[in-house]
Structure 1
């Protein structure tokens, strides 16, 4: 037995390339799913999943982690923007893996899978094949292919129709947007940014298996999954027992506060503009330019990247990209052109279409947008009225 342990240590140190084949697990071996709680950073907000393989007879206790990424990888941030983010499968000892969560005081739970010895050996061989340098990298997708959703994919690929994901435990089937919102404070800049970038594709109802892109749902799904008609979960235990991290926002720093301030400021400026029969060109320039720039970014995320969650984003109906060019009219021309009134009516019509899509649930928009939309409506309506009392060319 000591010789087997020595061979495993050599195999582990040299990346599995020394031995002709992956070590055969003993009858005392176990394979389990590890679920780790959410953390304070945005990329920790949804928790984490990994697969643990242990065999006390061989001295094996390693974790296969599909959630590894490298900030130092060439063009990391550019690839992130383009939707071509590369993640990797890493392999390290259980103690090393656990240290980070102990340090950050995040809970870890383990679910041991009820697999036969042959099935455990086959799964280990699969993981080791995935860990080969030519196989370990994969194109990450936050909603459809991540460290957690891979769990369901692996089980299905390994055991086929023997695996059944029962969805009776779900109180309802959520959309992808609803699932993401469950893990974020909706009145936070991160939640607002994600909501803004998401297109209408994420407003469809996720399947039972697709709920597993979130580690907490993957953990719950394992409790409600069968293999050959029997529970897949053999037993469950708490590895690290800490309270759930709660991130408390500070309202004066939240997007709702600042957007409400913008609406109030715009309302006050518009009142004095109306009183003095003038227009504040720098306010109009800023509103048009920023809304147009936001629309241009959203349009590029739709058509010029590989992100699967950003196409068909109807936020561009209020963040209209053409506004960025129109903005310069307010500072370069002393008088408003005659066609601008029709353009402004068109913008209001587009916003009306947006609200119709919202009501029909074609796309669900962030409620934090409401003061922004009211800000634009206030200004658009005033500029239409102003154009009637001022000479135009």
Structure 2
């Protein structure tokens, strides 16, 4: 079976020929490590101090890579066998490239991922080559909890149980690790972090982590609807491996002991660190929008045919992006893209402006249909602002409104009567 590995934004690796649950390629992940308790050059697992019959468990977190699919990090649960000392990485970030209909399910948001068990050193090999840091948080579980979790992972990695329905925000490599730990702790992890929040959202986390790749963060920011703008609890924000690691470091067991007994750096991070949180002011976008609108008004007064020709690529791009957003809403299971208010700024109706715009560029009348559609598109852009400030819709698209509304208005003023 051809397997490839990825995760909540982690990197895609080459297909491998191996039975699920026995071998695989290393998976990427990201997370700034807490203070390490051992030397980071070792890249080996320290001996378990627990009783000989008790497996030792840890959560391994890998820091971001440089390729776009590596930007979001990755994690896995490591189980050290008490008898042999062999360390197995239980990795939820694999999918089957040879699965019939794979591409169609990917587009529709119906991806099937799987849990694969592989040797720890095999899982680490690629990160070492890429310079990505890896650290592990050793868990202070009771013998009963450790044994139960190890057995549950072994059972879940069996081929008949390994598959699960993937969702970028709610069912990925990090949330599966979180849920497995919470089950072993009888819900204690959920109880401690579900009621707390740092004010992050799915959008803010996705845009932050994707920011080194401009086209990637633009895609997230444009494609995510208001469903991605709810404030997340610490439990929900654990879809990011680094956020999960932060919460694990703060979690206490029933008797007050820390859940994480020690943190060990397995590989040093030698490339760019995880992007820091930063505010996103809307006013630079407004200045850019006003500057573009002034240029449109000036050019339209002097060279209306040139303005129409320049407007054609804008309408084509806006119409195609709008059609894609509409498809995500009506034709896929990507819930975070449903009901996207950016459809008012990037309207699929812009495609209907192309014939009339072409006539204007050739010095002819745009036609009644052109004028009607242009009015509708402009009213839709104004409606985005209306929804934001009067009806108080929650989608965080203020920068896009500030950039595009002045441009839509200026095009309407100059081209409506041409």
What's the TM-score bracket when you normalise by the shorter of the two chains? 0.7 to 0.9
Deviation, structure 1 residue 164: 4.7
Match 1:37 to one of 36, 59, 63: 63
Question: What residue in structure 2 maps to residue 293 of structure 1?
Answer: 320
Give the greater-gyration-radius structure (CA).
1
Shift in alpha-carbon separation, 1:54–1:366, aligned structure 2, 3 A: farther
Question: What residue in structure 1 maps to residue 7 of structure 2?
Answer: none
User: What does the per-residue CA deviation read over 1:158-202, in whole Å, with 9 as the maximum and x for residues that have no partner?
Assistant: 332344553499782211111222323278111001111111100
Distance (Å, rounded) in 2 between the aligned partners of 1:266 and 1:288:
15
Q: Matches of residues 1-393 of structure 1 in structure 2 within 5 Å?
A: 26-27=52-53, 29-167=55-193, 172-185=198-211, 188-230=214-256, 231-243=258-270, 245-246=272-273, 271-276=298-303, 278=305, 280-331=307-358, 334-338=364-368, 340-359=370-389, 360=392, 362-365=394-397, 367=399, 370-384=402-416, 387=417, 390=418
Deviation, structure 1 residue 144: 0.8
* Partner SS, residue 245 of structure 1: coil
Structure 2 segments unaligned to the other structure (5+ residues): 1-17, 23-50, 276-286
Deviation, structure 1 residue 264: 7.3
Distance (Å, rounded) in 2 between the aligned partners of 1:280 and 1:368:
22
* Partner SS, residue 226 of structure 1: coil
Deviation, structure 1 residue 130: 1.1
* Partner SS, residue 161 of structure 2: coil
Distance (Å, rounded) in 1 between the aligned partners of 2:195 and 2:384:
35
* Partner SS, residue 332 of structure 2: coil
Shift in alpha-carbon separation, 1:277–1:57, aligned structure 2, 3 A: closer
Shift in alpha-carbon separation, 1:14–1:326, aligned structure 2, 3 A: closer
Distance (Å, rounded) in 1 between the aligned partners of 2:94 and 2:380:
42
The question of whether the paired residues in 1 share the 8 Å contact of 2:382 and 2:405 is answered with no
Deviation, structure 1 residue 104: 0.9
Deviation, structure 1 residue 311: 0.6
Shift in alpha-carbon separation, 1:271–1:222, aligned structure 2, 3 A: same
TM-score by length of 2: 0.75
User: What does the per-residue CA deviation read over 1:3-47, in whole Å, with 9 as the maximum and x for residues that have no partner?
Assistant: xxxxxxxxx99968xxxxxxxx94352011001101011221111
Distance (Å, rounded) in 2 between the aligned partners of 1:187 and 1:58:
43
Distance (Å, rounded) in 2 between the aligned partners of 1:105 and 1:212:
24
Deviation, structure 1 residue 228: 2.1
Distance (Å, rounded) in 2 between the aligned partners of 1:327 and 1:261:
25
The question of whether the paired residues in 2 share the 8 Å contact of 1:40 and 1:247 is answered with no
TM-score by length of 1: 0.80
Distance (Å, rounded) in 1 between the aligned partners of 2:77 and 2:304:
68
The question of whether the paired residues in 1 share the 8 Å contact of 2:92 and 2:113 is answered with yes
Root mean square deviation, CA, Å: 3.3
Deviation, structure 1 residue 268: 5.1
User: What does the per-residue CA deviation read over 1:50-82, in whole Å, with 9 as the maximum and x for residues that have no partner?
Assistant: 000002523431100001234454443332221
Equivalences, count? 358
Deviation, structure 1 residue 239: 1.3
Shift in alpha-carbon separation, 1:165–1:331, aligned structure 2, 3 A: same
Deviates more, 1:183-192 or 1:208-217: 183-192
Deviation, structure 1 residue 353: 2.4
Deviates more, 1:68-77 or 1:221-230: 68-77
